[in-house]
Amino acid sequence: MVPVIVRCGRCRSELEIPGPGEFVCPACGTRNVARGGVAPDPYSISGAAPASASGLTVPGGGPAPIAPPGPPTDIRWGTCPACRYKFATGEVEAVTCPNCRASLLRSSDGNLGITEG
């Protein structure tokens, strides 16, 4: 048993008792009931539960959903018709091939074509 400091409900004098339970105030003789800091719980292990034992259980019981690894990438790939070099073009319509420096233009079907001039 863990000794607890209790206060008499009548004369407010503090005294130490061996553990939670009924005790008689030595000052005024009033019978009191010490709760030991927590409400009486028939399922609690004696002396093992601190005053603030809440928040240890996981609500719902299921694991937290894992967030997706970032937004989906919006990369468009085009192949240079001059050197067959494949590179990301993005949303732009006119690009320059990073390999052969050819001026390319995206057509309506998404393929790249060489712009003359």
Output the six-digit token pair for 93.
Answer: 């319509």
| 71: β partners | none
Q: Shortest approach of Zn ion to residue 1 CB, angstroms?
A: 22
Q: How far apart are CA 87 and CA 79, in angstroms?
A: 6
Minimum distance of Zn ion from residue 17's CB (angstroms): 12
Nearer to Zn ion, 49 or 82 (CB): 82
Q: In terms of CB distance, is 20 or 89 closer to Zn ion?
A: 89
Least Å from the CB of residue 6 to Zn ion = 10
Helix (H, G, I), strand (E, B) or coil at 77: strand
Buried b / exposed e over 18-35, threshold 16 CB at 10 Å, is eebeebebeeeeeebebe
| Smallest separation (angstroms) from Zn ion to the CB of 71 | 30
- Of 21 and 85, CB closest to Zn ion: 85
Binding site for Zn ion (CB under 5 A): 8, 10-11, 25, 27-28, 30, 80, 82-83, 85, 97, 99-100, 102
